[in-house]
Structure 1
Amino acid sequence: MSRYRFVFSWRWIRLHVLIWLILLPSFYGLGMWQRSRYHERSAENAVIKTAMNASPVPIEGADAVGAAVPKSERWKQLTLVGTFDPAHQFLARNHQNGGNPGFYVITPLTLGDGTSVLVNRGWVPTVSTDEQQSPPIPAAPAGTVTVTGRLQQSETKGNTGIRDVTAGLPTGQISLINTASLAVTTGLRLRGGYTEVISMKPGDSSQITAVDAPSLDEGPYLSYWFQWWLFGVIAIGGWITIIRREAQHRDREAAEAAEEDEYDDEYEEDEEYEEEDDDTEAETGLEPEPETAVASTAVPSAAVTGAASGTATAPAP
């Protein structure tokens, strides 16, 4: 553990705080948020599937006057029989179809008991680049009609995230399909929710595009959920890798420093040995004889040897 003692320094403590107290809790929290969104979407899709597989039921037993539609009852398929009231119809703005701006046509349907229900007949496009301008509304079928539709909750800022700005819009336009406010505006006894048309007899105008069936796509929440947690695993792996590389770097520096110290010690020992040799020669007074001196003394010795043997060397002619 001594090689990792540096991780307790202040510089490294800041890294630990960044990883463990900021990044990892953030990644975990974001992953849990995407997880909750995924489960919400899955639960909603289960409700839609159940509703779409069930047979339509009369609206009288599913949506009462002034009552709020529970979220669990949304998308329930209903059967409505009555007559349209075009005198109190509206255009719900800011709705697109295939990326094109337009309006939903909202027309009350008066039932046999005298109560009314708002019916979303479908989508019509804008007539110009000015989205404030109301397009002409195709006439609703006259007489008694039979509508099969999907039950929806009354729209509020709470369940749509859209602020109600109907008061500032041109006459006949609304920003939210809010049954409570429209009941006050029209004076009708409106039931608590509204209905999206699936089919109608007799049929509606061809100029109105039916509202698409709900999508059962679960969205990107599952992949986002695992991505955020994968970022957490990567952060931990990066933290470990940085610490290990720093330890390896410090080990290499220590090894290089040790080699340099060993080289310096050997160099000092060599210098001390040479100094000892110099001191020894100085004390004895001996100096090494040059090789030329040895050669010059060799010739007289030979001459002396010849003289002793009585041999004379004749000079060269």
Structure 2
Amino acid sequence: MYRFLLTPRWLAVTLLALLAVPVCVFMGSWQLSRFDTRVDQHKHAEHDQQRTAEAAPVPLSRVLPKTGSVVGSDDSGRIVSATGHYDTAHQLLVPNRLLDNHDGFYVLTPLRLSNGAVLPVVRGWLPGKADDAARAGTVPAAPTGTVTVTGAVQYPETTDTTGVDVSGALPPGQLGIISGASLVNVLPYPVYGGWITANHPAKPLVAVPPAAPPNSGLDLKAFQNLGYTGQWFVFAGFAVFMWFRFVRREAEARADAALGILPDQPDGPDGPGGSGGPDGPGDPAAPDPPLAGDEPGEQDTEGARETASAGSAAHVA
């Protein structure tokens, strides 16, 4: 029954299926390896961040030599120390910041260093609304005099950072995004691009944990690799399924042809469309079709004439 598989056409179809399956499996395995690589990179990044956070504090100048310096990927979360005095006159509140799923705000106080530049320092987090705290005057005052602050270096925030407000509708004394570009417009000093979160804020302030550097987590690309893995494996199974389906359909069609069941005569020779049906040529009840060009009245007239002629001949005889 399946000898047709040895024909050139079916050999080509089978070869195509045999080639499609390993190609799909290879591509799926490759996408899975890409996903595993991204997971490993994420684990290594978390390990490096933890090791960096546990290292001894280093001077700020080692991480940010000048105000225009960019925070390196290896320095995000690094503990640094800086000495200066707080500029309480330019203290800012950063609203709409979550900590442990509680709404609150950051207290950002510029730390002016000996070189005249300012390092943004988030002294801590407080629950509630920044507007209410500002009106009630419940924000703890910053220490006076020369202080040495120890904290974790952070990347400048972007519009993708959770909680940022770039609408420009915040009241005076509040900041929507922590970055040198936004602070340079409200502070009369040169501003460092990075900022730090104080490790040991005075109560009731709560320490703000350092955020992970950008592009260090399992982003959408990692899950895209995982989705592509499933798609390629599905394609491999689909190729096998369609090959069996086509083979079965061909075998059934050949078996039907061997039994005389043709596609244009599904009911067989005895069906309504066959020669043995009630309207076939063997039906005695079927009248003969009229000849072309004859009208029904002409046939009756000719019959009557023939009858009359036969009667006259009989009378003469």
TM-score range, shorter chain: 0.5 to 0.7
RMSD: 4.2
Equivalent position SS for 2:147: strand
- Measured after TM superposition, the shift of residue 125 of structure 1 is 2.4
Equivalent position SS for 1:151: strand
CA contact (8 A) 2:96 2:163 kept: no
Point out the structure with max Rg over C-alpha.
1
- Counterpart Cα distance in 1 of 2:188 and 2:38: 39
- Measured after TM superposition, the shift of residue 197 of structure 1 is 1.5
In structure 2, the residue matched to 1:232 is 232
- Counterpart Cα distance in 1 of 2:33 and 2:156: 30
Per-residue CA deviations over 1:44-101 (Å, capped at 9, x if unaligned) read 4354134124211011332222332233322111012332222112122332112222
In structure 1, the residue matched to 2:83 is 81
In structure 1, the residue matched to 2:186 is 185
- Normalised by the length of structure 2, the TM-score is 0.61
- Counterpart Cα distance in 2 of 1:214 and 1:99: 15
- Counterpart Cα distance in 2 of 1:27 and 1:215: 30
- Counterpart Cα distance in 2 of 1:196 and 1:143: 19
- Counterpart Cα distance in 1 of 2:202 and 2:8: 77
In structure 1, the residue matched to 2:42 is 41
- Measured after TM superposition, the shift of residue 213 of structure 1 is 4.8
- Counterpart Cα distance in 2 of 1:164 and 1:31: 38
Change (3 A) 1:35 1:69: same
Change (3 A) 1:148 1:65: same
* Percentage identity across paired residues of the two chains: 26
In structure 1, the residue matched to 2:252 is 252
Per-residue CA deviations over 1:22-54 (Å, capped at 9, x if unaligned) read x99x98998798678646634643541341242
- Counterpart Cα distance in 2 of 1:104 and 1:50: 26
In structure 2, the residue matched to 1:169 is 170
CA contact (8 A) 1:35 1:225 kept: no
In structure 2, the residue matched to 1:56 is 57
Change (3 A) 1:185 1:49: same
Greater shift after overlay, 47-56 or 37-46?
37-46
Change (3 A) 1:40 1:177: farther
Change (3 A) 1:46 1:184: same
In structure 2, the gaps of 5 or more residues are 262-267, 270-317
Equivalent position SS for 1:244: helix
Amino acid at match of 1:85: D
Equivalent position SS for 2:258: helix
Amino acid at match of 1:185: V
In structure 2, the residue matched to 1:297 is none
In structure 1, the residue matched to 2:264 is none
Runs of 4+ in 1 over 4 A off after TM superposition: 1-9, 26-40, 159-164, 213-224
Match runs of 1:1-317 below 5 Å: 1=5, 5=9, 38=39, 41-42=42-43, 44-63=45-64, 64-127=66-129, 133=131, 135-136=133-134, 137-157=139-159, 160=161, 165=166, 167-199=168-200, 203-206=201-204, 208-214=205-211, 219=218, 225-260=225-260
Instruction: State how many pairs are aligned.
Output: 243
- Measured after TM superposition, the shift of residue 156 of structure 1 is 3.5
Equivalent position SS for 1:210: coil
- Counterpart Cα distance in 1 of 2:161 and 2:37: 18
- Counterpart Cα distance in 2 of 1:100 and 1:84: 27
- Normalised by the length of structure 1, the TM-score is 0.61
Greater shift after overlay, 28-37 or 52-61?
28-37
Change (3 A) 1:84 1:163: closer
- Counterpart Cα distance in 2 of 1:161 and 1:101: 12
Change (3 A) 1:140 1:30: farther
In structure 1, the gaps of 5 or more residues are 10-15, 266-317
- Counterpart Cα distance in 2 of 1:154 and 1:218: 17
Amino acid at match of 1:106: L
Equivalent position SS for 2:168: helix
Change (3 A) 1:240 1:121: same
- Counterpart Cα distance in 1 of 2:51 and 2:77: 9
- Measured after TM superposition, the shift of residue 253 of structure 1 is 3.5
Considering fraction of residues, name the structure with more helix: 1
CA contact (8 A) 2:85 2:145 kept: yes
Change (3 A) 1:213 1:7: farther
Equivalent position SS for 1:234: helix
